[in-house]
Structure formats: C-alpha cells, structure tokens
Amino acid sequence: MAEGNDDKQRQLDAYRVGSEGSRLTTDQGVRVDDTDNSLAAGERGPTLLEDFHFREKITRFDHERIPERVVHARGAGAYGYFHLYESLAEFTVADFLCDTSARTPVFVRFSTVAGSRGSADTVRDVRGFATKFYTRQGNYDLVGNNMPVFFIQDGVKFPDFVHAVKPEPHNEIPQAQSAHDTFWDFVQLQPEIMHMVMWLMSDRAIPRSFRMMQGFGVHTFRLVNAEGRGTFVKFHWRPVLGTHSLVWDEVLRIQGNDPDFNRRDLWESIERGAFPEWELGLQLVPEADEHSFDFDLLDATKIIPEEVVPVRVVGRMVLDRNPDNFFAETEQVAFHTANVVPGIDFTNDPLLQARNFSYLDTQLIRLGGPNFAQIPVNRPIAPVHNDQRDGYNQRIIHRGRTSYAPNSISGGCPMSGVLSGDMEGVFRHYQERVDGNKIRKRSPSFEDHYSQATLFWNSMSAWEKRHIVEAFLFELGHVERRYIKEQVVQRLANVDAGLAAQVAAGLGMPSPGATTPNHGRTSPALSQANSPRDSIATRKIAFLVAGGADLNRAGQVMAALQEKGAICEIVTSHEGQVGSLAVDRQLSAVSSVLYDAVLLADGGELSENGHAVHFVREAFKHGKAIGALPDGEALLEAAALPGRQGVIGPETTGDEFAAAFAAVIAEHRVFDRDVDAVAA
C-alpha cells in the first residue's frame, strides 16, 4: 500500500508550516513591527494593555504546556511503515494483515513509564512500545511494552501501582526510580507482581537503545476471520539488531553524560539512514486450546513460553522519518488500546478491559476535548464520516443540515452498514456468550504468582542472574524499612531459594530457605544471552588517537569497521584535527559510556592523560570491546587492566585485527571480566 504512505504524507504536509523567508505576524496574520520591545508610555513608562502583540505572545507562552502523561510521560517517536510477509486471511479480516502488497504507514512512540518528561532516558524502568498503524480500514493501535507481562492482573489496581512507584507524595522523591519504600511495600503485599519484578530487575529494564529492544502487546488479543472464527494472539516485536542492554554502573553515568541517550540514538540513527527495524511475530492459539495451559490466557502477568507456542514471524516494520515537531507529533500522538480495526478484537483480560476505558478518558483531559483525533498525527488515512460535531478544538467545517441518525434530509447519510445494507468492511464485534453473577472476585486460574517468575530466573545466563541479584540489592538498599526488605526476600524464596539467599546475604539477613521448590523448567527465548550476535551495524566506537600514532593504520581499521556498519568517532584531547583526521569529540566532553567499544592508537601521548586512562578502564569495567594497535600499547599499559578478556592487542596484525575486534564488538559485552577489580 505505497499509496497509504503517500496519503499520510500528503495529509501531514497540509499542516506543515515553514518559517524560512517569512515575515513575522500575529495569529491573525497582521505584520509585526518589533518583537523585542513592548509598547510603553515613553521609554521608561508603563507597558500599555493595547499592545495586542505582547498580550498574544505572552498568553500563548503561558498556555503552551499541556498536562504531561501520568505514565509514559518521557518519550520519543518516529514515522515508518509496516510490510507483511505472508497473508493471515486464515485468521483475520484485518486488511493490513492480509495484503502482502501493502505498505502500511506507522507512527511509533517509545517511552519510560514512571518518570516525568524531564527525567533521564536510561533509568531502570519498563519501556513503552506503542505503534499506530494507519490502515485503510482505520487506525489500529498496538499499545505495548518492552516486557511481555505486567505488574497487576486487574486494572482496578493500576492507580495503586502507579501511586506506589511514583515519587513519594510527601517530598516528590525519588524521580523515575522504583528504589524506594512505597514501591517495595506494594511488592511485598502483592504476590501477583513477582513475575514482572523479575523482568524489572533484569537487564531488560535498561535497554542499550530503543532499536535493540523487544516489544510485546502484553495482553492476549483475538483475531477474527471472515467466518467469525476467533484465534487468540500474542504480539511480539523483535529488533533486527538483536536485544541488548546497558549495565547498571554505566546507566548511572549516562544519566549525567547524556540524559537524552536513547532518544538521541533513535533520532541520529534515522537521520544517518540506519533505519531501525523490527519483525512482527505472532503466537496463535486456537480457541479450542484456551484452557490447555497451566496458566490463564487472560492473565497479563503470564507469558506463553515460545517452546509451547512458537512465534510466527509475519512482517517487518521500518522507521525511516523523524517528526518535524516534537510537541505537535510525539507529544500529541494519542494511543488507545480500543483503537482496533475489523479482524482484531479483545478478550476478557481484566487489565485490558480497564485500559480500554482509561486511555480515552486520558486523551480528553490532555488534548483539550473530544476532537483530538483531528490532530494531524492522530488522523486516520481512512475517510471519516459521522455525526459528531462541535466541542473544544473542532478543526473541521461540517457542511449540511443534519447531525443525527436516522435522517431523511441528508439522504440518511452518513449511513451505518445496517441501514445501507452494505456490511462489507464494517467492524463486527466477536460474538461470545457471557454469563455470570455480578461479583468482585478473581478467577482461581489467576492464583499462581511464582511459577513463571521461577521460569524467568531459571532461563537466565550466569551474568544475567548476577545482574538481577545486584539490581535487587541496589533497589532494596534504598528502602528504609527493614520489614519491607524482609518480606520481599520472603517473596523471592517462592521464586528460587538461591536467589533469595544471595539477596538476603547482601542485606545482612538470614536466608529464608526454599518456600516453594524450583520446578526446573527453562525457556531459552527469555535470555538476552541467546539474542543474535552477528552484526556491529550502528555500534558506536571511540578511536582514541593522538598525533604520534600511525594514522594510516587507524584509518584502515576505521574503514573496515565502517564497512560493517559501525559508527566511528575520533576522540582526543583537543578539537580540530589530528593529522589528516578531523576530531569528532574532545575527551573532556565525552565518556566511554556513550560508546560501545574503544580503539587505542595514540602513539603514547594519551598514556599520561587522566581522561584517556579513565576512559579505557571504564570501558573495560562495563564489558566493552577494547582494541589496541601498536601505537596504543602505552595507553593500554597505563590503564593497568586486571585482565585481557575481550581486548584485541597489537599482537593481532593485518586484516585479522579488524575482524577480531569486530567479532568482540558483535558479542555486545564481555561479561566474564573481573570488573570488581576496576575502581569506579
């Protein structure tokens, strides 16, 4: 559907206004003579109220902020397209999932959950992954996260969870962190949260970039085909670059070096032409198998293990254009789980049901009334005809005398499918018989809160487990109340006795022992250690160079790495040039945490530079690949690293050096280093 992309582009272009070559005017189009001085009674006299330009300018400024999102306030977005590999007409009538010739326009917004708009990108948190598909049948919003489960089972608990994880109300501290008493008090009192807490304490909560982050629809949805037959579905986004994360010590330093680390990475990648890509995968479950699992498909704290139901890859999404204006597009984009198209429907997941109410309610207050769907980024490419009129921010001039149905004056239009007799392409709600008494009671099938938390723990590699333990110790180390720590450790004993013992030891308390036996099952797909590691595309490499180095050799290595898609920057003690090479960054303005790897070729000049020595030691501490050409040996020695794991030294020569260095970079991190031997 190339025409779909063109339609959305033309629609957005109609709203774009440039300032180049223009003359300053008021909102009424009146030319302005001077915008630096207010109209006053004399040079030192009072400002006059008749200065309409001043009043308009200040009034617009005073009102230019809208309420930020309560959750997912901090975000970044981009446009792109989705292309289907194979038709899914067997399962759904959703056009964009049936037509393999279609190129469906999309807008994607990534976000953190807990922090405000001004918080840092790299906090320990869940990441939102929301996709708006502008389909020919209307807008479809897949509003997901980078973790496949959630903290609670029923949406009535959502305000409680958010209040618990947000800054504490008496002092508005801490910002964008779960490391405080109220969150962990909620954890120790709500066992259903334990699976999600394991994900939150894992490296999944600190992604290397949005481009290296998985996405999940979280809930079980339903696909519906032309015969009205339903199929349960779980949605997965898989990054083509693999799933990779930062390390915690690095995260803390990035927040000071570049709080916009993830959004800058997304923006610059698209501007560079290294377009982020994900493949869409589906887990499909026939309705007849709804009750064949040892968990409830409607429970949002559970996954379907991929060994039980494989993920079927059906299409690819590419983000290839940055927004023109952050506020107009990224800030005003409005997602809603209930924005579905024919062929996609809901299930009775109680958390999903709550979201279907809450999102619309939120848009009404944030975006100034019911006409937010007319904002350009939210407008569908499908034609819109209905009897909704008026309201705040109405942008459409409706013609005609009727705004009701049925009517005869306007020929009955806009006419429903029933009245017109044309039911082609209409949304038909899935027909499901529902019976039951009005009760406040959760199904017994939702009562298992630990087995999948154990599955997640069992599936982790040794380094992932070590990071999870360290995360628990950091978080609980910020909790003031001892009894909360003790109760959380008790909860962990239901996940795994060894995990609980390690956390207890770090907190200086006795191990609670095994409360629930470990079932021993694993799911390899849950471990990032099994993510693809065959590319260095878009990896950022710092070349520490100085004038005394063999710059030709350094340039050859750089060219070899750039040919593989890496981004190489010359970093040294000053701006300007190093020989024939242009300096990209000077040492005092950057840090190793902003790079994926470092190459040393300094001719010995930087071996006495404290910034350079720290740069190398810090890169080693964070598991990054280090390469040293013969001219970098002095700097490597000055760094006094406690080992050479993942270090490609000058003993590797010729073309083999670049290949060996690239192979270590592709592994993402070297996790078997003795990082504790490196000072912070």
Active-site annotation, residues: 72, 145
Q: How far apart are CA 180 and CA 192, in angstroms?
A: 19
Nearest to 448 by CA among 308, 292, 302, 290: 302
Q: Which two tokens stand for residue 67?
A: 């309420």
Nearest to 82 by CA among 336, 251, 276: 276
Which pairs count as long-range contacts for 635-639, CB under 8 Å and 24+ apart, including other chains?
635/544, 635/600, 635/602, 635/604, 635/606, 635/607, 636/600, 637/607, 638/607, 638/608, 638/613, 639/613
Q: How far is CA 617 from CA 162, 637, 641, in A?
A: 39, 11, 7
Contacts (Cβ under 8 Å, ≥6 apart) of 353: 155, 346
Calculate helix-pair angle for 181-189, 158-165, nearest 10 degrees. Answer: 140
Reading phi first (left if > 0) and then psi (alpha if -120 to 50, else beta), residue 610 is in alpha
Cite the DSSP H helix spans in 175-302. 181-189, 194-200, 248-257, 261-272
Strand ranges for 372-424 from DSSP E: none
Contacts (Cβ under 8 Å, ≥6 apart) of 479: 179, 180, 181, 184, 485
Q: Which residues of 14-23 are buried (b: 16+ CB within 10 A; e: fewer)?
A: eeeeeeeeee
DSSP 3-state assignment of 190? Answer: coil
Tell me whether strands 540-545 and 221-224 are parallel, antiparallel or unpaired.
unpaired
Residue with tokens 């005809």: 385
Give CA angle at 143 (138, 147), nearest 5°: 155
Nearest to 446 by CA among 124, 179, 192, 617: 192
Q: How far apart are CA 494 and CA 516, in angstroms?
A: 5
Give CA angle at 183 (157, 442), nearest 5°: 25
Which helix (H) or strand (E) segment is 487 a member of? helix 482-493
Fill in the DSSP letter of residue 473.
Answer: H
In this structure, are residues 221 and 300 in contact, taking their beta carbons and an 8 Å threshold?
no
Q: Which two tokens stand for residue 210?
A: 């949005």
Q: How far apart are CA 404 and CA 331, in angstroms?
A: 33
Q: Residue 189's CB: how many other CB atoms inside 10 A?
A: 13
In this structure, are residues 586 and 611 in contact, taking their beta carbons and an 8 Å threshold?
no
Tell me the one-letter amino acid at 291.
Answer: H
* Backbone phi and psi for residue 586, each to the nearest 5 degrees, phi listed first: -100, 150
